């Protein structure tokens, strides 16, 4: 008989089962981590965000070209480092709530609103949601750039880096960033910072994504640079026919009996209603 | 049972390390902090603002876990906004400090937060309240906190005098923080200060290369030192017979 009482809080009854199975030798799969180098940088007209595109599962590259710059609203984007599922779902949830907030208040949403929603959610989970984010955007009050750590602390800065490649990228920023840079300068600086992460950090790699947000537009530059494209192989490795000798051959038709009937069309677009 | 350190930061948590202080003077309070936030040994933010506004004339200095103190300050900020709307007047510093204390004490096992609340109100004038890790509330004429404070208790005890004006208090805060930042690895960067009086809140900034300098140290052992010593004493090498 079903119980009408639903207890508050999380249900941990699967933990017993998981521990039992783990002891028998079948372990839980390791969460995909984005390893990552993500950066954000303030320039004259707005914000430039940058990210690499490697997703790792332990030592293996799970995705060579994943997207780490997530959509929050039209003029707000969020780069995510840490556990891939956590960054994906957290940013999707806040994106949805931001849309509802904008409809409810009748105003375009602000970057600080997204930041507050994100930090309050991450703090509530006490660091168990492994999402380290770089949030940037332009709203009615101007351009803003924030960094949000998994435990829920935030920093507001003109240039930020997160992820395993953050130290390499920060070195580039610390030597290259100036106030009021032009768009092209800012974009090259971001590309240089991400490259530093890609080539010096094992957890980051593949291509560079960038996103330029200004008051008037948001430009998503997917794979703006691909410094790790596969080179053409130096020789052909195809085996010549006859490399492997065979002793006997038997060919069998898989289609035993088949009759083909023409289906007459009764009129234009009558078969299915696809309006 | 082994002693469990409840107040240690969890791995990966951002730490405010810190040197913070607040000093009361006749017309108001001066609060100050360094600007370093660390994650392990990496400095996550070298220009942090640890002096957080919770009301028009009430500020708090945050030390400990960045996430915990930001969350607590946000809660108290909202509570004070609500209070000023319902009571129709500005809250007292004591009220703000009590709100902080309630959150810090009731969640003492989950939080790692050392907070100094300071400000000006019309009932009492200037006041400083220290709320260390356990959630106790202590009103003091001057308070220091954070990991860097341990290095400057002696300096503060020896230097502080009652009856100072604004400028002397600002100098006291600046010198104390500079000394703490020089000795504590988790403190550094720039000095941020606020002078809170009845009329306004004035923000002061001391960049890292303009910090007050004290004893910088001088190399005692080494070739240069030896050379100087020999020259001073007029030692002449012994003549060797051919």
- Residue to mutate among B6, B10, B11, B14, with most A CBs inside 10 A, is B14
Lowest mean pLDDT, pick from A95-99, A225-229, B171-175, B223-227:
B223-227
Cβ within 8 Å, pair A152-B71: yes
What pLDDT is stored for residue A88 in this prediction?
95
Q: What is the pLDDT of residues A89-106, one digit of tens each?
A: 999 999 999 999 999 999
Q: Are A165 and A203 in contact (CB under 8 A)?
A: yes
- B70 close to A (CB below 8 A): yes
Give the strands of the sheet with A76-82, arranged side by side. A69-73, A76-82, A131-139, A142-148, A154-156
Residue A256 to residue A26: CA distance in whole angstroms:
44
Span B53-68, average pLDDT? 96
pLDDT of amino acid B41: 86
Q: In what order do the strands lie in the sheet with B142-145?
A: B142-145, B20-25, B28-33, B191-197, B201-206
The verdict on a CB contact (< 8 Å) between B70 and A167 is no
As a whole number, mean pLDDT of residues A144-149 equals: 96
Supply the pLDDT for residue B12: 66
Average pLDDT over residues A240-247: 89
What are the catalytic residues of A?
36
Check CB contact of B48 with chain A, cutoff 8 Å: yes
Measure the CA–CA gap between A153 and B63, rounded to whole angstroms. Answer: 13
From residue A128, alpha-carbon distances to A124, A131, B20, B69, B121 in Å are 9, 9, 29, 18, 41
Q: Is the pLDDT of residue B73 over 90?
A: yes
Evaluate if residue A17 carries a pLDDT over 90: no
Report the mean per-residue pLDDT for chain A. Answer: 91
pLDDT (average), residues A17-28: 84
For residue A150, list chain B residues with Cβ-Cβ distance below 8 A.
12
pLDDT at residue B224, rounded to an integer:
61
Per the annotation, the verdict on B18 as an active-site residue is yes
Q: How high is the pLDDT of residue A258? A: 87
Q: Is residue B47 less than 8 Å (CB to CB) from chain A?
A: yes
pLDDT of res. B225: 56
B101-106 contacts, C-beta under 8 A, 24 or more apart: B101/B131, B101/B135, B101/B136, B101/B137, B103/B72, B103/B75, B103/B76, B104/B72, B104/B131, B104/B135, B105/B134, B105/B135, B105/B136, B106/B135
Give the nearest partner residue to A153 out of B42, B70, B110, using CB atoms.
B70
B161-219 pLDDT tens trace: 999 999 999 999 999 999 999 999 999 999 999 999 999 999 999 999 999 999 887 77
**pLDDT over threshold 60, residue A238:** yes
Q: With CA atoms as reference, report the closest residue to B60 among B86, B90, B31.
A: B31
Distance (Å) from the alpha carbon of A272 to chain B's nearest alpha carbon:
57
Summary mean pLDDT of chain B: 90
Residues in B touching A154 (Cβ below 8 Å): 70
Chain B residues inside the 8 Å CB shell of A123: 67, 70-71
Strand partners, A138: A143
- Please indicate whether, in this complex, the C-beta atoms of B12 and A150 are within 8 angstroms of each other: yes
Two tokens, residue A237: 């490795």
Q: What does the pLDDT read at residue A271?
A: 60
Q: Give B37→chain A minimum CA distance, Å.
A: 9
Rounded to the nearest angstrom, the minimum Cα separation between B78 and chain A is: 13
The β-bridge relationship of strands B42-45 and B37-39 is antiparallel
CA distance B41 to chain A (A): 12
Q: pLDDT at position B229, please? A: 61
Mutation for B interface: A128, A147, A151, most B CBs within 10 A: A151
What are the pLDDT digits (tens) for A43-92?
Answer: 999 999 999 999 998 889 999 999 999 999 999 999 999 999 999 999 99
State whether residue B222 sits within 8 Å of chain A by CB.
Answer: no
Taking only the tens place, the pLDDT of each residue in A258-275 is: 899 998 866 555 566 666
Torsion angle, CA of B119/B123/B125/B127, rounded to 10 degrees?
A: -50
Which is more confidently placed, B22 or B231? B22
Is the CB of A149 less than 8 angstroms away from the CB of B42? Answer: no
With helix as H, strand as E and coil as C, how does chain A read?
CCCCCCCCCCCCCHHHHHHHHHHHCCCCCCCCECCCCEEEEECCCEEEEEEECCEEECCEEEECCCCCEEEEECCEEEEEEEEHHHHHHHHHHHHHHHHHHHHHHCCCCCHHHHHHHHHHHHHHCCCCCCEEEEEEEEECCEEEEEEECCCCCEEECCEEEECCCHHHHHHHHHHHCCCCCCHHHHHHHHHHHHHHHHHHCCCCCCCEEEEEEECCCEEEEEEEECCCCCCCCCCCCCCCCCCCCCCCCCCCCCCCCCCCCCCCCCCCCCCCCCC
Amino acid B8: pLDDT: 59
| pLDDT surpasses 70 at B82 | yes
Name the B residues in 75-114 with CB < 8 Å from any A CB.
Answer: 110
* Chain B residue nearest residue A163, CA to CA: B44
């Amino acid at each position: 008989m079903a119980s009408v009482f639903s207890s508050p809080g999380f249900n941990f009854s699967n933990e017993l089962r998981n521990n039992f199975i783990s002891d028998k030798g079948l372990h839980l799969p390791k969460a995909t981590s984005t390893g990552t180098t993500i950066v954000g940088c303030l320039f004259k007209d707005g914000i430039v965000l940058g990210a690499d595109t490697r997703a790792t599962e332990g030592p293996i590259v799970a995705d060579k070209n994943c997207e780490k710059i997530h959509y929050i609203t039209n003029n707000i984007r969020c780069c995510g480092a840490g556990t891939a599922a956590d960054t994906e779902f957290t940013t999707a949830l806040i994106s949805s709530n931001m849309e509802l907030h904008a409809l409810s208040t009748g105003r375009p949403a602000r970057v600080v609103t997204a930041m507050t929603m994100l930090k309050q959610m991450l703090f509530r989970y006490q660091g168990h949601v492994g999402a380290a984010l770089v949030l940037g955007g332009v709203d009615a009050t101007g351009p803003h750039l924030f960094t949000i750590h998994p435990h829920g602390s935030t920093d507001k800065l003109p240039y930020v880096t997160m992820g395993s490649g953050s130290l390499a990228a920060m070195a580039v920023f610390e030597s290259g960033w100036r106030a009021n840079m032009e768009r092209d300068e800012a974009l090259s600086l971001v590309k240089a910072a991400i490259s530093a992460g890609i080539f010096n950090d094992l957890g980051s790699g593949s291509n560079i994504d960038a996103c330029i947000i200004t008051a008037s537009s948001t430009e998503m530059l997917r794979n703006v640079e691909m410094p790790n494209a596969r080179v053409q192989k130096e020789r052909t490795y195809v085996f010549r026919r006859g490399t492997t000798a065979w002793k006997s051959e038997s060919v069998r038709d898989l289609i035993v009996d088949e009759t083909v009937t023409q289906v007459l069309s009764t009129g234009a677009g009558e078969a299915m209603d696809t309006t | 049972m082994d002693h469990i350190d409840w107040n240690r930061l969890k791995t990966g948590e951002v730490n405010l390390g810190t040197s913070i202080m607040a000093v009361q003077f006749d017309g108001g309070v001066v609060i100050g902090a360094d600007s370093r936030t660390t994650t392990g040994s990496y400095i996550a933010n070298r220009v942090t603002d640890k002096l957080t506004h919770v009301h028009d004339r009430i500020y708090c200095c945050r030390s400990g876990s960045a996430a915990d103190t930001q969350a607590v300050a946000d809660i108290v900020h909202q509570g004070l906004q609500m209070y000023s709307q319902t009571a129709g007047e500005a809250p007292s510093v004591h009220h703000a400090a009590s709100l902080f204390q309630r959150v810090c004490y009731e969640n003492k096992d989950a939080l790692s937060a050392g907070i100094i609340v300071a400000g000006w109100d019309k009932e009492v004038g200037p006041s400083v309240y220290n709320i260390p890790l356990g959630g106790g509330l202590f009103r003091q004429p001057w308070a220091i906190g954070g990991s860097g404070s341990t290095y400057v208790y002696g300096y503060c005890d020896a230097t502080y005098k009652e009856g100072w004006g604004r400028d002397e208090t600002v100098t006291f805060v600046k010198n104390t923080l500079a000394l703490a930042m020089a000795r504590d690895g988790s403190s550094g960067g720039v000095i941020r200060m606020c002078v809170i009086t009845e009329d306004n809140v004035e923000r002061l900034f001391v960049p890292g290369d303009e910090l007050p300098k004290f004893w910088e140290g001088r190399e005692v052992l080494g070739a240069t030192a030896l050379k100087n010593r020999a020259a001073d004493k007029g030692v002449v090498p012994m003549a060797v017979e051919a």
